[in-house]
Amino acid sequence: MIPELGHFALILALVLSMVQAVVPLVGAQRNSAALMAVGRPAAQGQFFFILFSYVCLTWAFIQSDFSVQLAASNSHSETPLMYKITGVWGNHEGSLLLWAMSLSLWTVAVTVFSRHLPDAFLARVLGVLGLVSAGFISFTLVTSNPFERLLPGVAEGRDLNPLLQDPGMIIHPPLLYMGYVGFSVAFAFAIAALLSGRLDAAWARWSRPWTTVAWVFLTAGIAVGSGWAYYELGWGGWWFWDPVENASFMPWLLGTALMHSLAVTEKRGAFRSWTVLLAIGAFSLSLLGTFLVRSGVITSVHAFATDPKRGLYILALLVIVIGASLLLYAARANKLMGGGSFSLVSRETSLLANNVLLTVASASVLLGTLYPLFLDALNLGKISVGPPYFEAVFVPLMTPVVVLMMFGPFLRWKDDDLLAEVRRVAPIFVASVAIGVGSAWAVDHLTWRTVLGLSLAAWVVLASLRLLARRLGERAGAAAGSRLRSITASWWGMWLAHLGIGIFIIGVTMVGSLDRHLDVRMKEGQRAELAGYTFVFRGAVDADGPNYDAARGNIELVRDGRVLGVLDPEKRVYRAQGMPMTEAALDIGVFRDVYVSLGEQLEDGSWIVSLYYKPFISWIWAGCVLMGLGGIFAAADRRYRRLAARDAAAAVGGRVGAAA
Amino acid sequence: MKARSKRLMLVGGGVALLVAAVALVLSAFQQNLVFFHTPTEIAEGKAPVGKTFRVGGMVEDGSIQREADGVTVRFAITDTAKVIPVTYKGTLPDLFKEGKGAVVQGKLEGGVFHATEVLAKHDENYMPPEAAHAVEQAQKAATTLSQ
C-alpha cells in the first residue's frame, strides 16, 4: 500500500511540475499577475509530493519490503539501518528520485529567497525549472519506476553493493546531486534573462550566489567521492580519471569558469553572451554526467542496448535542453552585444584567458571520456583513455591558469599598466621558483614535475600573502581591526579558495612524487620496512559484522623503535552475494598517511599485505575544504542581501505602480 | 592603440591560445590511447610488441600460480580460442578469480604479457566489457569456421 501511495504522489508531483512549467511562463508572456503567481505554490506543492514519495520508498527499504523490486535488489534484512536508508539512492531508479528531489529543493529555495526578483523574472525562472523537473520526473515514471512491485515478493533481498556500504557514500551522492542540480538554477536564470531580453548586471547579480552555492556542493561532493575512493577501494589512489569521476569534474570546471564570468558580467557588464553560454554549458554537462553514470553506457555501450528506452529518453532530454537553449540564445544574441569595454591589460582579460583555458580543459575531459564510447558504439574498435592522457593535458593547461589566477587579482578592472604590475610581482615569482627548486631538492626528488608543482604552490601562497598585505595597506592609517573588517566576505572567499588551490597542489605534487608502495607476503610475526616505517604483522582474527564475514589483520606500525599504533585492515565477504571487499586501515597524519590493506590469504596461512606511504595526501582534501569555505564566504557576502533589499523595494514599487 | 586594433589583438590572442590548447590536447590524445586486443589477435601477431595495450578474456581454470615471493602471480587469459600467459606483481582485485572475466594492461614481451594493471568485475553480475567482447569475438569466429 505504501509503495503505491509513493507512486501516486510522484504522479501528482509530475502534474504539478507541468503546471509550474506552463502557467507561469504563459503568465509572464501575457503579463498576467494571477498566472505568474501560480509558480510559487506549484513548486512548493511539487516538493511536498516528491518528498512524500521519497519517504515512502525509504520506508519500503527500512521495512525490508522485498515485494518492491528495488528494495529486493538493493537491500537485505541484515543490512544496518543507515545503509538501508542510503541504499535508496544506491541504484538507478532511486538516484533519479533523489535527482528530482534535489531539483525540487532548489526550486523551493528559489521561491523562498526571491522576494527581490521582479514577478515576471521569477515566473520565468520557475517555469524553466518546472520544465526540467517535468522531464526528469516523467523519465523516472516512464522508464525507471522505483516503486515497481516484485510479485510474489522474495524472502530475502540481494543487499546493497558492499562498496557503497560506507559512511562516505552516505553523504557523497546527496552533495554531488545538490551540486549537479544546482547548476539548473543558474541555467534557469540565464534562460529567464534570455526570454525577457534583459541581460544586465542585475541578472548576473541574482544568479551569482546560486551558482556559487551549487559550486560549493559540487566541490564538496567531488572531494568526498575522492576521499571515499582513497580509503575504500583499497589501493590508495585518490583520483582515477574514471568516466564516472570525469562526469562530475566536467561541470565543475565549467561551473568554475561560470562563477568568474558572472563576476565580470555583474561588475563590468562585459562577457554577457559568454556567461550565458557557460550557464547553458555547465547545466548541459550536469545532464550529460547524469546520462553517462545512469544509462549504463560506461560499463558497456551494449548495456544501453538492453534497455535503450532509458538512454534514449535522457539523450532526447539533453538534445532538447541544449538545442532549445542555443536556439533561444541565437535569437537573442543581438541583445547581448556591447557591455563594458576593457583594455588588453586588465582584470577582465586575465579572467577571460582563464575562462578559455578552463573551457578547453573541460572539453579535453569530454573528449577523453566520450571518444572510446563513440568508437565502441560505431564498432570501430575498443580503446581506453587512461590517466596518462589526462595528466599530459592537465599539467600544461592548468599551469597558466594557476599563474594567471594569482596575477589577475593584482590587476585593476578595465585598464592597468602591465609593466608596473609585472615589476611588482616579479620578486614573488622568482622567489616561488627558487622555493620550488629548493624544496624539490630538499625532498631529493628533483624532477621537472615536482619543481613545477612546488613552484606553483609557492607562487599561490606567496602571492596570496602579498595580495592580503596590499589589501590591508589600502587603508593605511586606519586601525588594524577596522582594516580587516573593511575587507568584504566575497574578497575573503576569493582569497581562501585560491589559497586552497595552492594547498591542493602541494598535496597532489607530494603524493605524486614521493609516495611509496610495497606488496609483501607476511606471516605472523614477520616484519616489513617502507619509507622508514616498520610494519609487524601480528596475525589475523575473525571479525564478523552484521551482514558480512571478515578477517581482521593486526599490524603494528613502528618508527624508530617506538610503536605508533596498530592498524587493522579487514578482508570482508558480504554474505548476500558472496562478494569480497577490502577495508583498508589508515594512520592519518598532517604530513603523511600510512595505509595498509589485506590482499588474499595464501595456503600456508600467510597474507599478501599492501603497504603504502602517502606524503601530504590530506592536503588534497584540505585544499578542497578551503575552496568550499571560500565559496561559502563569497555567497554569504552582505552585498547580495543589501542589494536584494533594494531590488525588493523596487519590485514592490513596480507592483504598486502597476496596480495604480 | 585604436579600439579596432585592440580588439583584433584580443581576438587574435584568444584564437592563438585556443589553437595551442587544442593542439596540445590532440597530441596528448594521440600518444596516450591504449588499444585493446583479444588473445586471438595476439596469437595472430596483430598486437604490438613493447607497447602498452589491453587484453581481455577469462582467467583460465587452474592457471593461477604464485611465485615464491607470494606477490608475483602467473596466470593465463583466454578468449576460449587462444591462451595468453600473463605475469603480474602486486595485489589482485577482490573479484579476480579463475573462470571469471578480467582485463589486463601492460606490454607483450617474448610471448608473455607483463601486466602492470589487472581489472576484474565490479560486482557479481558485471563482466568487464572488453572481456565479454573478446569471448564473443572468439565464439563468433568459431561458429563461422564450423559452418
Tens-digit pLDDT profile for residues A604-646? 889 999 999 999 999 999 999 999 999 999 999 888 888 888 8
The pLDDT of residue A658: 46
Task: Identify whether residues A90 and A155 lie together within a single domain.
Answer: yes
Task: Identify whether residues B45 and B98 lie together within a single domain.
Answer: yes
Task: Identify whether residues B75 and B3 lie together within a single domain.
Answer: no
pLDDT band at A294 (very low <50, low <70, confident <90, very high): confident
In a domain, residue A128? The reply is yes
Counting the structural domains of chain B, the total is 2
Task: Identify whether residues B14 and B84 lie together within a single domain.
Answer: no
Q: How far apart are CA A344 and CA B3, in angstroms?
A: 10
DSSP, residue by residue, B50-61: SS-EEEEEEEPT
The pLDDT of residue A301: 53
Task: Identify whether residues A457 and A564 lie together within a single domain.
Answer: no
The pLDDT of residue A506: 97
Task: Identify whether residues A323 and A296 lie together within a single domain.
Answer: yes
Cβ–Cβ contact B24 with A under 8 A: yes
In a domain, residue A311? The reply is no
Task: Identify whether residues A354 and A392 lie together within a single domain.
Answer: yes
Cβ–Cβ contact A237 with B under 8 A: no
Task: Identify whether residues B29 and B46 lie together within a single domain.
Answer: no
Task: Identify whether residues B88 and B29 lie together within a single domain.
Answer: no
Q: To the nearest 10°, the Cα dihedral for A294, A247, A48, A6?
A: 10
Handedness of CA B46, B50, B53, B57 (dihedral sign): positive
The CATH number that applies at residue B107 is: 2.40.50.140
Sequence-distant (≥ 6) Cβ neighbours of residue A216 within 8 angstroms? A179, A628, A631, A632, A635
One-letter amino acid of A627: M
What are the pLDDT digits (tens) for A497-510?
A: 999 999 999 999 99
Cβ–Cβ contact A352 with B under 8 A: yes
Number of helices (H), then strands (E), in chain A: 21, 11
Q: Of A382, A521, A580, which is closest to B133 when you measure between CB atoms? A: A382
A501 and A458 Cβ atoms separated by less than 8 Å: no
How many angstroms away from the CA of A632 is the closest CA of chain B? Answer: 32
- The DSSP 8-state label assigned to residue A575 in this structure reads T
The pLDDT of residue A233: 81
Counting the structural domains of chain A, the total is 4
Q: How far apart are CA A411 and CA A408, in angstroms?
A: 5
In a domain, residue A351? The reply is yes
| A385: closest chain B residue by CA | B33
Task: Identify whether residues B72 and B19 lie together within a single domain.
Answer: no
> Which range marks the domain in which residue A395 is found?
169-305+317-337+346-411
Task: Identify whether residues B1 and B66 lie together within a single domain.
Answer: no
A584 and A569 Cβ atoms separated by less than 8 Å: yes
- Please determine, for residue A93, whether its predicted confidence score (pLDDT) is greater than 70: yes
Count of other CB atoms within 10 angstroms of residue A239: 16
Question: Comparing A46-55, A608-617, B128-137, which segment has the lowest mean pLDDT?
Answer: B128-137
Task: Identify whether residues B125 and B63 lie together within a single domain.
Answer: yes
pTM higher than 0.90: yes
Cβ–Cβ contact B6 with A under 8 A: yes
Among B33, B37, B124, the residue to mutate for chain A (most A Cβ within 10 A):
B33
Cβ–Cβ contact A362 with B under 8 A: no
Within A429-544, strands assigned E span 516-522, 527-530, 533-542
Q: To the nearest 10°, the Cα dihedral for B50, B56, B62, B68?
A: 40
Cβ–Cβ contact B7 with A under 8 A: no
Domain boundary among A165, A193, A221: A165
Task: Identify whether residues B135 and B91 lie together within a single domain.
Answer: yes
What are φ and ψ of residue A46, in 5° steps?
-60, -45
To the nearest whole percent, how much of chain A has pLDDT over 90? 65
Model ipTM value: 0.84
Task: Identify whether residues A403 and A463 lie together within a single domain.
Answer: no
> Which range marks the domain in which residue B86 is found?
35-146
A130-142 burial, b for 16+ CB within 10 Å, e for fewer? bbbbbbbbbbbbe
One-letter amino acid of A541: V
Report which secondary-structure segment, H or E, holds A291: helix A272-294
Report which secondary-structure segment, H or E, holds B37: strand B33-37
Domain boundary among A138, A165, A192: A165
Task: Identify whether residues A442 and A586 lie together within a single domain.
Answer: no
3-class DSSP state of A539: strand
pLDDT band at B128 (very low <50, low <70, confident <90, very high): low
Handedness of CA A406, A410, A412, A418 (dihedral sign): negative
In a domain, residue A312? The reply is no
Interface of A with B in 155-214 (CB under 8 A): 161, 163
